[in-house]
Each structure stands twice: as structure tokens, then as C-alpha cells.
């Protein structure tokens, strides 16, 4: 279930009488992915329409802080098995809100859940898109709320599994690194507590193919100069 507030956001900061012009880091597009499935997401990867760089994950695991199945992790991409590069343990409370933060500098990933920090420099490179995925099964609910991308509010996302599994997606595109993403997660269930990935969310960070590239300002200037020179030469030839 997606709660879309707006399809496009820009941020202008007014401070001490000055206006900061929005930069690429403060502009992004929210893509409505209502009804999107894991099959469709995997199709994007298989067709080369999305390339995962890394995935930040929180899941119910075995709800233990003493070992066993991991509850939080920074994972490699699905083509490499989506295995955790760094991981941690956590005991989730039924219905408790948990703050999280994902930071990416272009060469360092930091993922904070509650008061626990995971970090790795195993990933580097540009990013253009983020896919949020929530999953709930076994009479449970998985909700992401108060989402802020570089300080700008974006949509909430929630899945509710009543007798079956419910999976939901949300995408933001046209982004760049570095970025900071914050929000709150809530896991809740009735009856028997779910295990492993039956109650989980992932933040899938990566790139999509760019339709066209814009020449650098210096390149544009050189092309314009070459064009002017060409016109000048033609005029000179005609005047001879």
C-alpha cells in the first residue's frame, strides 16, 4: 500500500535572507509501483533495466540478539546471491517504531537501525534509483513511514499479510550520491511470531540505464566554438 504525496519534489532552503538553488541531490521523482511484484522487479534486473549495487535489509529473523539468523544487514546484489556483507542481530518488539538511517557517500554505506550501526566500503559508484520493498506474511504488517530523502518527505509504504503474503514496492528515481535516507519501521503481528523474511523490508539501491547523456558545459562550448569557426571559414571562402 503506497501513500503518494507528490510525484516530484524540489527543495529550496531559505536562511538568513538567502535562497539556496535546488541541486541534483535535492530533486527526485517518486514512481507509483502499486501492484508491482517480485517477478516484475526481477524482470527489470534480468532485462538490464535495473542494476542493484547494494541492499539494506531489516527482517524478523529469529527475533534474537544472541545469534542465529541475522535481523539486519547490508547485502550484495541479487546476482551475487543477495548475501550479507555485514550483518547484525536484533530483537524486534511487536508494534514498536524503530528509527533507521541509510547513508551512502559514493564509496561508504552506513545503515543504522535503532542504535546499531552497520557500515561497509565494499560498494562504490553512482546511483540513480532506489526501490523500497515491504513484505508481510502470517498475519503480520510491515510499515515504513516518515521517510525523508535528503530531508524531503516522500511516500510511506505498508504491507499486510492476512492469511497470505503481501509484497509492495515504491521507487524513487533521478537521484545521485551522496544521499541520506531516514524513516521509521514498524513490524507487528498477531498469533505466532513470523520468522526469517516473512516480515521484512529492503532498500535496493542501484542504477537504471540513462536514456541520453547531456554534454559537459566545456564540451558544449567547444562544439559551439567549432560551429562558429566553421561558419566563418565558409563565409571567407565565399568572399574570395
Judge if 145 and 190 occupy the same domain.
yes
User: What's the pLDDT at 163?
Assistant: 78
Closest CA to 87 of 132, 122, 130: 122
pLDDT in tens, 17-51: 323 334 444 689 999 899 999 999 999 999 999 99
User: What's the pLDDT at 235?
Assistant: 40
Judge if 191 and 220 occupy the same domain.
no
Judge if 166 and 236 occupy the same domain.
no
> How many domains does the structure of the chain reveal?
2
DSSP for 46-104 reads HTTS-EEEEEEEEEEETS-SSSSS-SEEEE--GGGT--EEEEE-----TT-EEEEEEEE
Judge if 230 and 113 occupy the same domain.
no
Residue range of the domain that includes 229:
216-240
Judge if 239 and 177 occupy the same domain.
no
Judge if 177 and 88 occupy the same domain.
yes
Q: Distance between CA 152 and CA 173 in Å, rounded?
A: 14
Judge if 201 and 221 occupy the same domain.
no
User: What's the pLDDT at 171?
Assistant: 97
User: What's the pLDDT at 211?
Assistant: 52
- For the chain, residues with pLDDT lower than 50 are 4-25, 212-217, 219-240
User: What's the pLDDT at 204?
Assistant: 97
User: What's the pLDDT at 109?
Assistant: 98
User: What's the pLDDT at 138?
Assistant: 84
159-170 burial code (b ≥16 CB/10 A, e <16): bbbeeeebbbbb
CB–CB of 121/107 below 8 Å? yes
Amino acid at each position: 500500500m503506497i501513500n503518494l504525496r507528490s510525484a516530484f519534489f524540489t527543495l529550496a532552503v531559505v536562511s538568513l535572507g538567502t535562497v539556496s538553488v535546488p541541486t541534483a541531490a535535492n530533486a527526485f521523482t517518486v514512481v507509483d509501483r502499486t501492484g508491482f511484484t517480485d517477478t516484475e522487479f526481477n524482470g527489470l534486473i534480468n532485462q538490464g533495466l535495473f542494476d542493484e549495487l547494494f541492499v539494506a535489509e531489516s527482517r524478523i529473523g529469529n527475533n534474537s540478539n544472541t545469534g542465529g539468523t541475522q535481523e539486519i544487514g547490508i547485502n550484495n546484489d541479487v546476482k551475487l546471491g543477495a548475501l550479507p556483507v555485514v550483518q547484525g542481530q536484533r530483537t524486534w518488539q511487536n508494534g514498536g517504531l524503530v528509527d533507521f538511517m541509510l547513508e551512502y557517500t559514493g564509496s561508504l554505506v552506513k545503515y543504522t537501525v535503532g542504535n546499531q550501526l552497520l557500515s561497509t566500503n565494499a560498494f562504490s559508484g553512482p546511483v540513480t534509483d532506489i526501490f523500497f520493498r515491504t513484505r508481510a506474511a502470517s498475519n503480520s504488517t510491515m510499515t515504513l513511514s516518515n521517510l525523508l530523502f535528503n530531508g524531503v518527505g516522500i511516500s510511506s509504504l505498508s504491507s499486510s499479510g492476512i492469511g497470505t503474503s503481501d509484497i509492495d514496492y515504491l521507487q524513487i528515481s533521478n537521484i545521485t550520491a551522496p544521499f541520506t535516507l531516514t524513516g521509521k519501521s514498524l513490524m507487528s503481528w498477531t498469533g505466532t511470531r513470523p520468522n526469517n523474511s516473512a516480515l521484512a523490508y529492503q532498500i535496493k539501491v542501484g542504477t537504471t540505464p540513462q536514456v541520453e547523456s547531456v554534454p559537459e558545459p566545456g564540451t558544449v562550448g567547444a562544439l559551439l566554438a567549432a560551429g562558429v569557426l566553421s561558419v566563418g571559414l565558409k563565409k571567407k571562402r565565399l568572399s574570395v
